[in-house]
Structure 1
Amino acid sequence: MEMHAFGTLNYIVLLVYLTAVMLVGVYFAKRQKSVDDYFKAGGRIPGWAAGISVFATTLSSITFMSIPAKAYTGDWTFLIGQYVAILILPFVFLYYIPFFRKLNLTSAYEYLEKRFDVKMRLFASISFMLFHIGRVAIITYLTALALIPFVDINPLTIVFLIGVLCIVYTFMGGIEGVIWTDVIQGIMLSLAAVLIFIVICFNVDGGVTEVFSMSAEADKYFPKEQFAWSWTEGTIPVLVIGFLFASLQQFTASQDVVQRYIVTDSIEETKKALITNAKLVAVIPIFFFAVGSALYAYYTQNPGLLPGDFNTGGILPFFVISEMPAGVAGLIIAAIFAASQSSISSSLNSISACFTSDIYHRLGGETSPKKTMFVARSVIVVAGVFGVIASTYLIMSNESELWDAFNSLIGLMGGPMTGLFMLGVFVKRANANSALAGVVASVIAILWVRAATDLNFFFYGVIGTLMVVFVGYITAPLFKQNAVEDVNKSLIAQNS
């Protein structure tokens, strides 16, 4: 495939963006005077900014590129999942936001010790940290992999730019720097999607009307066969169930999102954050799918512009580099970097919050503010370096089929965590030992299903979550209550 020169102007635009991100970290570095500032922003974040940050955090660069590719080659069925995430928000408003705000925890997993015991806290926290180190590596790797065929930038340079710069501005600015860079990046992602769609429509004979009519004629929106039930394919009923539990995991048990609940100064601002996120989720993903439809129309009318052996997974960056004007292309590539960095920086800060609270402080580390800040920043560097090294290894070894395996592990690690929080909040008779039994049963069940069946990976999180709740409920009478569990019941009473 032809390599397109990135061009001086595109390099300048990309460099300006990367410099701006660094300056945000430098600006907020002077505000990081305590651990509360570093992990909670001292409650200074307005709700709208926290909401954009949640949106940017949950939208990675892979989503930015894969959604148009899905709409180009397939249909719009994955759009259903975005609206499922909106539907769970009343449930989160009613039960989880007041709960986390009242407890005012640095790490979400502190609750699991209060409700159950330290084993559950450590299990959930360590699972989260390991998962997100892997997430940093894989997002960085797949971003570089997607851009390699289209830009004359060495893949290791891409890894360096994404990984190292994330480490630096997250290290300096804490969660406040992360959130405000997320705001910049979220706006860039949204504007890039709208801009690309408009540009393509101007290049399609017949314009926007032709774009949507061609997709309708090809039955590329919500084909009838996608409404059928399937145990192995990602049809609409499977997507609804899978995204329901994936969204529950994100909004109720994942530190990188839950941490946004405590960076505002009131519960009203926290709710405003999720409403802002919901508004963005309701609108922006439509443009990503519309971009895919526009690309389908454009290349159907101009088939000679695509190389014969073209991998359609890279259709978006291919169009950007080959068809967009110089400077604008650099801005779009910067948006792809932005999508990657917003996810990675949130992962790094939340890993640091978990390690500092759940490992360092819990296991008896020195709690002086100076020492704690040193540990918090050191963890960001170590986690980031591990992610960069792992990304470099993946590039050098040319790993394949990594994304599906990664998605399947979300159920393995995220399902039990989600189940633990549901068990703690809604099953009053559950106790530490029944929770442990639920986690063990959950992990065994998911591993067996993954190894012995062809069940679609969207079901893994469902099985993981429900197994913890079910086994935790039925085994609770087998174990004796203790004094810690009496305190746990009082926490539930306060929340109800």
Structure 2
Amino acid sequence: MITHSFGIVNYLVLFGYLLAMMLVGVYFSRRQKTADDYFRGGGRVPGWAAGVSVFATTLSSITFMSIPAKAFTSDWTFIIGQYLAIAVLPLVFYFYIPFFRKLKVTSAYEYLEARFDVRCRLFASMSFMLFHIGRIAIITFLTVLALRPFIAIDPVILVLLISVMCIIYTWMGGIEGVIWTDVIQGLLLSGSAILIFIVICLKVQGGIGEIFTVTQQADKFFPATQFHWSWTESTVPVLMIGFLFANIQQFTASQDVVQRYIVTDSIEETKKTLLTNAKLVAVIPVFFFAIGSALFVYYQQHPQLLPAGFNTGGILPLFVVTEMPVGIAGLIIAAIFAAAQSSISSSLNSISSCFNSDIYQRLSHKKRTPENRMKI
């Protein structure tokens, strides 16, 4: 296994980030008095913050590293999925936001009992919980797998740093703490993407113009071969259909996103949530794909810097640890942690809200007070 020295300064930056997340959880723990505070934020969350949270939630550490790797090895075709997330917003604006606000629900699946029966509600809720338990495991495992060659921390310790600390601040701060940590994490990972691209442009001979020219000559933007229908390949028509339905499901029936619709104090603020998310989705993913193209050109100019037999899935962490300035590298590794933790914390809180509302409260034979529900 190839290992690289991470350095004391980078470690200090990384642990400083983790400490800051814990402090946010401690701060918001003082506001958690009832189940409404814990799962709905008491309606205190501004729309723009909820929007950044949606963006951070849907952009995991896997995405943070895999998008540049995809552009490095292949092309930009998968960016279509990001813009289809914007395409479904009119549907959510005019139908789903007023619908969920009117219901005043904690779980997105409460409606299924009123429309069908309790079995349908329980099936949907338990399916969501099982999916996100698996998602948490996958995000944690793949993040540790990608970072392990570059930072000299035992994999078990890495798992604890990513997941256990995330569990603690999520448990303490409730949905309000989750959203505000998401804001910090979303801004950190967005700023990191922009910073990485700028640094690569400065290192590439010929700068951004050379990156664009070489990428175009290599036909690594949108190859013509990707615009035909295929039953076996991820071509543009296939991706459009797949991402369209995936985004409809995520923005209309996934508790981790739907929960953001009910944490603001009005429909107008909730609409700001989606507008903020749309603005970030329109801009930030472009930088992740551009990073992949820029790395392709950089390592073409400096092939000796790419280890023989290197797994290009870790191309971004490799560049960060070996080429980024001291301190900045620690900040960007912290951004990868942030991308993982923003998704994990949202999954944890939404699993908790589903269990509390759809299982514990619904199936309990005793009437539970809001304070008792929050403790559970």
Return the alpha-carbon distance in structure 1 between the equivalents of residues 371 and 51 of structure 2.
31
Other-structure match for 1:117: 117
Q: Give yes or no for the alignment of 1:78 onto 2:78.
A: yes
Return the alpha-carbon distance in structure 2 between the equivalents of residues 369 and 35 of structure 1.
5
The one-letter amino acid paired with 1:374 is K
Return the alpha-carbon distance in structure 1 between the equivalents of residues 137 and 228 of structure 2.
36
Other-structure match for 1:320: 320
Q: Give yes or no for the alignment of 1:133 onto 2:133.
A: yes
Other-structure match for 2:197: 197
Deviation (angstroms), 1:319: 0.3
Return the alpha-carbon distance in structure 2 between the equivalents of residues 307 and 341 of structure 1.
30
Deviation (angstroms), 1:326: 1.0
Q: Give yes or no for the alignment of 1:90 onto 2:94.
A: no
Other-structure match for 2:266: 266
Deviation (angstroms), 1:18: 0.3
Other-structure match for 1:178: 178
The one-letter amino acid paired with 2:30 is K
Cα deviation digits, residues 228-286 of structure 1 (max 9, x gap): 10112110101100000000111000000000000000000001100000000000000
Deviation (angstroms), 1:155: 1.1
Other-structure match for 1:372: 373
Return the alpha-carbon distance in structure 2 between the equivalents of residues 234 and 164 of structure 1.
36
Query: Root-mean-square deviation (CA), in Å?
Result: 0.7
Return the alpha-carbon distance in structure 1 between the equivalents of residues 151 and 161 of structure 2.
14
Return the alpha-carbon distance in structure 2 between the equivalents of residues 370 and 289 of structure 1.
46
Return the alpha-carbon distance in structure 1 between the equivalents of residues 306 and 153 of structure 2.
21
The one-letter amino acid paired with 1:31 is R
Flag the structure with more relative contact order, 1 or 2, with Cα contacts below 8 A and sequence separation at least 6.
2
Cα deviation digits, residues 29-73 of structure 1 (max 9, x gap): 000000000000000010100000000000000000000000000
Cα deviation digits, residues 292-318 of structure 1 (max 9, x gap): 011001000000101111000000000
Return the alpha-carbon distance in structure 1 between the equivalents of residues 81 and 41 of structure 2.
31
- Describe how 1:478-493 pairs up with structure 2 within 5 A: none
Return the alpha-carbon distance in structure 1 between the equivalents of residues 365 and 271 of structure 2.
34
Question: What stretches of structure 2 of length at least 5 have no aligned partner?
Answer: none
Other-structure match for 1:99: 99
Deviation (angstroms), 1:371: 2.4
The one-letter amino acid paired with 1:80 is I
Contact conserved, 2:33 with 2:371, CA < 8 A, in 1? no
The one-letter amino acid paired with 1:275 is L
- Describe how 1:38-57 pairs up with structure 2 within 5 A: 38-57=38-57
Question: What stretches of structure 1 of length at least 5 have no aligned partner?
Answer: 376-496
Larger radius of gyration: 1
Return the alpha-carbon distance in structure 1 between the equivalents of residues 371 and 52 of structure 2.
31
Return the alpha-carbon distance in structure 2 between the equivalents of residues 4 and 327 of structure 1.
15
Return the alpha-carbon distance in structure 1 between the equivalents of residues 148 and 154 of structure 2.
7
Return the alpha-carbon distance in structure 1 between the equivalents of residues 310 and 325 of structure 2.
22
3-state DSSP of counterpart to 2:177: helix
Q: Give yes or no for the alignment of 1:281 onto 2:281.
A: yes
3-state DSSP of counterpart to 1:78: helix
Cα deviation digits, residues 49-104 of structure 1 (max 9, x gap): 00000000000000000000000000000001100110010011111110000001
Query: Number of matched residues?
Result: 375
The one-letter amino acid paired with 1:234 is S
Contact conserved, 2:36 with 2:370, CA < 8 A, in 1? no
3-state DSSP of counterpart to 2:6: coil
Other-structure match for 2:334: 334
Return the alpha-carbon distance in structure 2 between the equivalents of residues 122 and 2 of structure 1.
47
- Describe how 1:390-405 pairs up with structure 2 within 5 A: none
Return the alpha-carbon distance in structure 2 between the equivalents of residues 149 and 364 of structure 1.
48
- Describe how 1:353-372 pairs up with structure 2 within 5 A: 353-364=353-364, 366=366, 367-372=368-373
Cα deviation digits, residues 350-370 of structure 1 (max 9, x gap): 000000000011102541233
Cα deviation digits, residues 353-392 of structure 1 (max 9, x gap): 00000001110254123321221xxxxxxxxxxxxxxxxx
Return the alpha-carbon distance in structure 2 between the equivalents of residues 96 and 68 of structure 1.
33
The one-letter amino acid paired with 1:368 is T
Other-structure match for 2:345: 345
The one-letter amino acid paired with 2:225 is E
Q: Which aligned segments of 4 or more residues in structure 1 are displaced greater than 6 angstroms?
A: none
Q: Give yes or no for the alignment of 1:256 onto 2:256.
A: yes
The one-letter amino acid paired with 1:11 is Y
Cα deviation digits, residues 168-225 of structure 1 (max 9, x gap): 0000000000000000000001000000000000000000100111100000000000
The one-letter amino acid paired with 2:137 is A
- Describe how 1:200-239 pairs up with structure 2 within 5 A: 200-239=200-239
Return the alpha-carbon distance in structure 2 between the equivalents of residues 196 and 344 of structure 1.
24
- Describe how 1:139-178 pairs up with structure 2 within 5 A: 139-178=139-178
Cα deviation digits, residues 453-490 of structure 1 (max 9, x gap): xxxxxxxxxxxxxxxxxxxxxxxxxxxxxxxxxxxxxx
Other-structure match for 1:304: 304
Return the alpha-carbon distance in structure 1 between the equivalents of residues 213 and 156 of structure 2.
42
